[in-house]
């Protein structure tokens, strides 16, 4: 039985995991860099260890140091959260070799799904439709041009080992492809240690819809419905909803069945997310699989009443799922808005000291935060400083509550994207549910480029 967990992460997800562990009477160990010494999650944990300077390769990506702390603190398990080492198959493998439970899938499955190319092949074998694209890695710009001629523009150029929109770019011509190939390949090599690229056809007016799954070590797997994640900037999500108001019940069932079929074929265990692009006719195509908990997991929790972190720990303990697909129902509508420390127009990060920090409060308002008043937001990490989650009986109810809560969300001393969020949720296209992946470029940024 897991009695002590090291959280190999920082910020709001570390705080989120600690809360569930406290409720489950599990001791927690936090790690922090010099830049995060004053972060709220550090004092929330039962034990906290400084692991290095601010830069991630010297702290949150320093496996040797993390395992050193794990041994010193005598933990039973490690929860990786999201980002950093959460999808590093070598990290998961070493955990297992050390006799530490990795709260996530096996390293072999993680490695398979970590490569977008291998993931595509695996999902095709499971019978899932995939976006037309290259069957393998493309190593040169000339090879990319040859592939593009077959696929046809517009094309999504992607890093094989990438995530979070890094190494990804839409290209519309040969000239753009040549220019983008080298720069994105170099960027992917820097961030992921792998510069291999591949090409996919860009689905026009697509929606980004993902399925939350849970699978145990006894062959049981379920899905917890979908999340609509199409409102994005720089290929990174900004606003997420559950459920999607676009897909029909028939498509929901088809996507859910496909996701469950895939994870069973993979022998996948723990929580995961299968992401799809859905076109205007509700045809869906496999995009990628995230072998970890997602940033946007709270909206699934809100519409199902299920604590996903608790389920992760329970599965890692070797227990069978106590949830049945037939008994799961969607209760209401939930929306999450990510609060970023960034300029709301240029999207450039806005580090600095927070002089005022007031969170909205009230029924059906949930805050997941990584900061506090007088906290110094540094340039070393992702600029997300919090998540605002609301729930309503209907989508209209949830939107009304979100507008109210965003108006009451006060952050001073730095710039945030709150003005952008207010602009989006008040836009007639958002209100009507026209939330495609091109929403920000089409309806938000155009007003500043006139």
How far, in Å, CA of 191 to CA of 393, rounded? 41
The tokens of 424 are what? 């989006």
Token pair 């498509």: residue: 251
Mind giving me the DSSP string for 23-38? Answer: HTT-EEEEEEEGGGTT
| DSSP secondary structure letter of residue 446 | G
How far, in Å, CA of 402 to CA of 32, rounded? 32
Phi/psi at 253 (5° precision) = -65, -40
For residue 273, what are the β-bridge partners? 212, 290
Residue 16 designated active-site: no
How far, in Å, CA of 24 to CA of 73, rounded? 19
Nearest Cα to Cα of residue 51 among 6, 87, 86: 6
Q: How far is CA 196 from CA 41, 82, 321, in A?
A: 36, 23, 38
Buried b (16+ CB within 10 A) or exposed e, 61-76: bbeebbbebbeebebb
Of 19, 292, 353, 366, which residue is the catalytic one? 292
Token pair 């990060």: residue: 349
Q: Which residues lie closer than 8 Å to 291 by C-beta, 6 or more apart?
A: 86, 87, 104, 105, 109, 110, 113, 114, 268, 272
Task: Give catalytic residue positions.
Answer: 292
């Amino acid at each position: 039985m897991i009695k002590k967990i090291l959280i190999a992460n920082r910020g709001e997800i570390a705080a989120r995991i600690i809360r569930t562990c406290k409720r489950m009477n599990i001791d927690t160990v936090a790690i922090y860099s010099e830049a995060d010494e004053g972060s709220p999650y550090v004092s929330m944990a039962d034990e906290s260890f400084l692991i290095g300077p601010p830069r991630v390769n010297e702290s949150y990506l320093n496996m040797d140091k993390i395992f050193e702390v794990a041994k010193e603190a005598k933990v039973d398990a490690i929860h990786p959260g999201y980002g950093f080492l959460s999808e590093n198959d070598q990290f998961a493998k070493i955990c297992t070799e050390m006799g530490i439970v990795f709260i996530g899938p096996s390293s072999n499955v993680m490695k398979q799904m970590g490569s977008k190319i291998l993931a595509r092949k695996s999902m095709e074998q499971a019978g899932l439709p995939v976006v037309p694209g290259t069957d393998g890695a493309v190593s040169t710009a000339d090879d990319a041009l040859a592939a593009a001629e077959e696929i046809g523009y517009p094309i999504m150029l992607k890093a094989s080992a990438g995530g979070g929109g890094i190494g990804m770019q839409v290209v519309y011509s040969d000239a753009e492809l040549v220019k983008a190939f080298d720069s994105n390949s170099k960027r992917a090599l820097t961030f992921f240690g792998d510069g291999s690229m591949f090409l996919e056809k860009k689905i026009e007016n697509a929606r980004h819809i993902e399925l939350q799954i849970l699978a145990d070590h006894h062959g049981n797997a379920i899905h917890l419905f979908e999340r609509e994640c199409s409102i994005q900037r720089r290929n990174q999500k900004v606003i997420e909803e559950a459920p999607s108001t676009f897909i029909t019940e028939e498509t929901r069932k088809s996507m859910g069945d496909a996701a469950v079929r895939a994870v069973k074929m993979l022998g996948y265990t723990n929580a995961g997310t299968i992401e799809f692009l859905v076109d205007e006719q509700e045809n869906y195509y496999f995009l990628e699989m995230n072998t970890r908990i997602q940033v946007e997991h709270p909206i699934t929790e809100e519409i199902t009443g299920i604590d996903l972190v608790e389920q992760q720990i329970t599965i890692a303990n070797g227990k069978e799922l106590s949830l049945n697909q037939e008994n799961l129902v969607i209760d209401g509508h939930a929306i999450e808005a990510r609060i970023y420390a960034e300029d709301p127009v240029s999207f450039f990060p806005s580090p600095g000291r927070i002089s005022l920090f007031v969170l909205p409060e009230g029924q059906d308002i949930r805050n997941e935060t990584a900061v506090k008043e007088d906290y110094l937001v540094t340039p070393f990490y992702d600029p997300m400083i919090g998540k605002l989650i609301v729930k309503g009986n209907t989508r209209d109810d949830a939107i009304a509550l979100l507008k109210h809560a965003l108006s009451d969300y006060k952050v001073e001393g730095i710039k945030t994207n709150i003005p952008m969020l207010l602009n989006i949720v008040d836009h007639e296209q958002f209100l009507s549910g026209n939330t495609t992946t091109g929403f920000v470029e089409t309806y938000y940024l155009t007003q500043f480029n006139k």
